[in-house]
Amino acid sequence: MILPKSNRLQPDQVAEITHIVEGFGCKIQPIVGAVRTIYAIVGDERDELMITRLEGLDYVERIDRIQSPFKLMDKRSDLATHRLTIGGVTLGEELFVIAGQCTIDPKNPEFFYETAHAVKEAGANALRGGVWKPRTNPYTFQGDTKSLEILMEASRRTGLPVDTEVMEESHIHLALEAGVGTLQVGARNALNYSLLRAIGKAIADRPNAVLLKRSIHMGPVNEFISAAEYIAAFGNPNVILCPRGTTPTLDGYRNHPDESITPLLKEKTWAPVVVDPSHSVGKAAYVPACALAAVAYGADGLCIEAHVKPSAGIGDDPKQALTPEALTKTIAQARALWNLLRS
Ligand code: PEP
Ligand code: MN
């Protein structure tokens, strides 16, 4: 990581360091912060001669070397002070809540509009709604691009920023063009490195964020953070880690709830953690306890499925969506606990 003496390097300086690092098989990736731009050396940065040459440049303050598979997302990185603000909430400063339907029903948009209003009333900061759905059963509803219009209309009506899952490159571009702020990577694609790279490239120069679910298999902490690094390596570090339960499942739950991974993540990365209790447990009755447990474990936020009328929903909603009443209570309790733990 190159820290210049000034807030950012001049083009001729970037050209000079690019020339140096390319000679050692590396590349330079600017990470643009609000005030200062730092420059990640992407590649194997262990060559002493390369470091010495960079340190010899009079416009370079210092070179930070982090031997980590995720040097941008690493807690020791110069990005550790980077903060994400979504829906008026700076993650880490107050509990951030995304809520909404698992799946938008394109035949019944009114449900989604009502859910969006209810979610806002309940105190959520962002709205979720599945447009394209990864379904285990290939014969069930797979989502519909028409739902993207419904999602954006709900965003306009409520003023809430939105989150939706993208599963392929075409979805990324459609979602960004429509104005989706947060792209979700689902548990099934969490280790799909070409998708992660495509997202990283697409949002490199944009203020968008990514909600990266933990892979469905019980993978190690480093694997999860390294997946986030794939996105950040293109220049946009706005990645939120989202534990959502793993397999093998815990008897009776949909997955093995993994909100307890949060302190382990926080030991290694500065990335915010937003836990999804809905997919962790898979039943509406168990979701509030899992949400509170996540807050107790130090989560910065929650991603909760909710529906004005769960029984009329499609996708996961009939099983695991909270009603507006249950969501309101869960958010209030989660915020109270979050504040209590920090008082
Ligand atoms: C979802 O958020 O509706 C979803 C499919 O999530 P996951 O990828 O965690 O299963
Ligand atoms: Mn779902």
Q: How far does residue 162's CA lie from ligand 1's centre (Å)?
A: 15
Asked if the model's pLDDT at residue 110 lies above 90, the reply is yes
Q: Is 278 helix (H, G, I), strand (E, B) or coil?
A: helix
> Contact, 272 vs 300, CB < 8 A?
yes
In the chain, domain spans: 2-63, 86-342
Give the pLDDT confidence score for residue 273 in this predicted structure. 98
Please write the tens of the pLDDT for every residue from 15-39: 999 999 999 999 999 988 778 899 9
d(CA 182, ligand 2 centre) in Å: 16
Q: pLDDT tier at 69 (50, 70, 90 boundaries)?
A: confident
Question: Model confidence over 323-336: pLDDT tens digits?
Answer: 999 999 999 999 99
End-to-end CA distance of the chain: 36
Cα(44) to centroid of ligand 1, in Å? 34
* Residue 108 confidence (pLDDT): 97
A 10 A CB-CB count for 268 gives 17
Q: Which residues, by Cβ under 5 Å, contact ligand 2, an ion?
A: 102, 316
- Map tokens 């909710």 to a residue: 306
Structure token pair of residue 194: 């070409």
Query: What's the whole-number mean pLDDT along residues 118-144?
Result: 96
Mean of the pLDDT values across residues 107-125? 98
- What is the rounded distance in angstroms from the CA atom of residue 54 to the CA atom of residue 60? 7
Instruction: Tell me yes or no: is domain 86-342 CATH 3.20.20.70.
Output: yes
- Taking a C-beta distance cutoff of 8 angstroms, is the pair 28, 6 a contact? no
Each residue's pLDDT tens digit, 289-314: 999 999 999 999 999 999 999 999 99
- Cβ–ligand 1 contact at 185 (below 6 Å): no
Looking only at the bridges linking them, the beta strands covering 96-103 and 60-63 are unpaired
pLDDT attached to residue 50? 95
Is the pLDDT at 262 greater than 80, yes or no? yes
Tell me the mean pLDDT in the region 174-188.
98
* Helix 324-341 with 287-296: angle, nearest 10 deg: 20
| Contact between 278 and 98 (Cβ < 8 Å) | no
Question: What class is the 2-63 domain?
Answer: alpha beta
What is this structure's pTM?
0.94
pLDDT band at 151 (very low <50, low <70, confident <90, very high): very high
- The H or E element containing residue 338 is helix 324-341
SS3 of residue 214 by DSSP: coil
